[in-house]
Copies of this chain bind each other. A is one copy, B any other.
């Protein structure tokens, strides 16, 4: 029965398991465009849900959507030195339009800070023009060598927020506000027990003064950077000559931020929650919450099925009825691959006894309920909440079981070499210690979670300034 799935075991070969899941559950497909993916309707519906929730929240907080060009002329990209150094090695260059060589080559945007800065310079003249709180949903391109669906692709669907403010305080507040929006969204909707903190200087965004990051830990203990919020200070504004007249008619330089999340979050979802039977989707983000599988002759089921369908619609529960002529076992397996949170087994025999069976996708637990449709709906709504919470807690528990703290370097290296997960250490803040860790263990810093006033750096023994997590990353 289960051979329909052909999914590699997660504990045997995690990478192959992931590839099987995204393909078999119809989230993505490949094309002759190497390094890019086709996001199929089922995968795109997850992205549409993510977009719809975040877009509402962005707008509620006063942000406006707009659309910048997808190309950046080389001279514009070159305007901020650190920024271009970070991105130039991986951009796609257009040198020819039709049959003609362009006067100046242009790259497909790897991110749009330079375009926003050029625009700000034109539209920001006075304190009255500030703040500008902008966002765009678009596709960016980074010409990666090794790619994996959702996690690292040459084309990335994302949103990039860009804001400009009169004061440092306002810009810092915005940076932290959107950082919190991301953290809450990932915890409450994606059921991801993320760790939020600040990137070290070595790992921060090219051109930022500070980068705040959402770090999710995958089932295999490897980190996924799942969203960042950057405080730019005045760096970009100075490079681009953006100024405004304040209330006293004095020329001032404004402060900027940017923040983004991408379809990578879908990869994070999968690698946190799914299992050997297929996808497991948190109810709040699942495109289809309920799959109904009729078992028995259509005539026997007709009335109940109609009644159920009407109630699902009336209660705004997205659903699907599998009316194909496949066997029930085959349909169950397919429903598991697709990760619909709740399966309703509508059996003619059960109905005679006034029963309906519900199955939770996350635990595969069977729940017998009365066939009274109002009660079915009530149970479904309760179950969806429980599944959402349980998925978060299960992921939290697993994550916690892979969090370590090392008090000396030998211990650190020992854990790093033998145990998957994140390791917390005290750190002096010097890049040399970070580099040594990477050389010795391949681990990179994930994020700084707190400042400390005592203790010693786990690497060099000097005075510690921070607690910081290290881990392997996707």
Q: Are B108's CB and A69's CB within 8 A? A: no
Interface hub of A29, A90, A157 (most chain B Cβ within 10 A): A29
- Whether a CB of chain B sits under 8 angstroms from the CB of A322 is no
A residues 67-91 in Cβ contact with B at 8 Å: 67-73, 75-76, 88-91
- Whether a CB of chain B sits under 8 angstroms from the CB of A352 is no
The contact string, 1 if C-beta is below 8 Å from chain B, for chain A 107-122, is 0100000010011001
Instruction: Give Cα A281 to B86, complex, Å.
Output: 43
Given contacts A67-B38, A69-B38, contact A31 B119 (CB under 8 A): yes
- What is the minimal beta-carbon distance from A267 to any residue of chain B, in angstroms? 15
- Whether a CB of chain B sits under 8 angstroms from the CB of A92 is yes
- Whether a CB of chain B sits under 8 angstroms from the CB of A40 is yes
The stretch of A95-103, A168-176, A292-300, A462-470 in contact with B is A95-103
- What is the minimal beta-carbon distance from A129 to any residue of chain B, in angstroms? 12
Q: Are A66's CB and B40's CB within 8 A? A: yes
Q: Are B67's CB and A33's CB within 8 A? A: no
The stretch of A11-19, A41-49, A209-217, A371-379 in contact with B is A41-49
Given contacts A31-B115, A38-B68, contact A93 B90 (CB under 8 A): no
Residues of B within 8 A of A67 (CB): 38-39, 44, 47, 157
Nearest B-chain residue to A34, judged by Cβ = B73
Instruction: Give Cα A69 to B29, complex, Å.
Output: 11
Nearest B-chain residue to A37, judged by Cβ = B69
Contact of A139 among B39, B40, B43, B138 (CB under 8 A): B138
Instruction: Give Cα A220 to B25, complex, Å.
Output: 53
- What is the minimal beta-carbon distance from A287 to any residue of chain B, in angstroms? 10
Q: Are A94's CB and B97's CB within 8 A? A: no
- What is the minimal beta-carbon distance from A171 to any residue of chain B, in angstroms? 20
Q: Are A93's CB and B94's CB within 8 A? A: yes
Contact of A69 among B31, B70, B134 (CB under 8 A): B31
Q: Are B139's CB and A71's CB within 8 A? A: no
Interface hub of A75, A76, A96 (most chain B Cβ within 10 A): A96
Q: Are A92's CB and B99's CB within 8 A? A: no
Q: Are A66's CB and B38's CB within 8 A? A: yes
- What is the minimal beta-carbon distance from A240 to any residue of chain B, in angstroms? 11
Q: Are A66's CB and B95's CB within 8 A? A: no
Instruction: Give Cα A369 to B94, complex, Å.
Output: 59
Instruction: Give Cα A118 to B31, complex, Å.
Output: 7
Contact of A66 among B39, B93, B118, B139 (CB under 8 A): B39
Residues of B within 8 A of A70 (CB): 36, 108, 139, 141, 155
Q: Are B95's CB and A93's CB within 8 A? A: yes
Q: Are A119's CB and B29's CB within 8 A? A: yes
The contact string, 1 if C-beta is below 8 Å from chain B, for chain A 332-370, is 000000000000000000000000000000000000000
Given contacts A76-B32, A139-B139, contact A96 B92 (CB under 8 A): yes
- Whether a CB of chain B sits under 8 angstroms from the CB of A315 is no
- Whether a CB of chain B sits under 8 angstroms from the CB of A290 is no
Q: Are B139's CB and A75's CB within 8 A? A: no
Nearest B-chain residue to A153, judged by Cβ = B69
Instruction: Give Cα A68 to B153, complex, Å.
Output: 13
Residues of B within 8 A of A95 (CB): 93, 95-96
Residues of B within 8 A of A138 (CB): 139
- Whether a CB of chain B sits under 8 angstroms from the CB of A65 is yes
Instruction: Give Cα A451 to B84, complex, Å.
Output: 60
The contact string, 1 if C-beta is below 8 Å from chain B, for chain A 121-141, is 011000000000010001101
Residues on A facing B (Cβ under 8 Å): 29, 31-33, 36-41, 43-45, 47-48, 64-73, 75-76, 88-99, 106, 108, 115, 118-119, 122-123, 134, 138-139, 141, 143, 154-155, 157
19 example contacts (A-B, Cβ-Cβ < 8 A) are as follows A29-B119, A29-B122, A32-B76, A33-B76, A33-B115, A37-B69, A38-B69, A38-B119, A41-B66, A43-B66, A44-B67, A48-B65, A67-B157, A69-B155, A70-B155, A89-B98, A89-B99, A94-B94, A108-B108
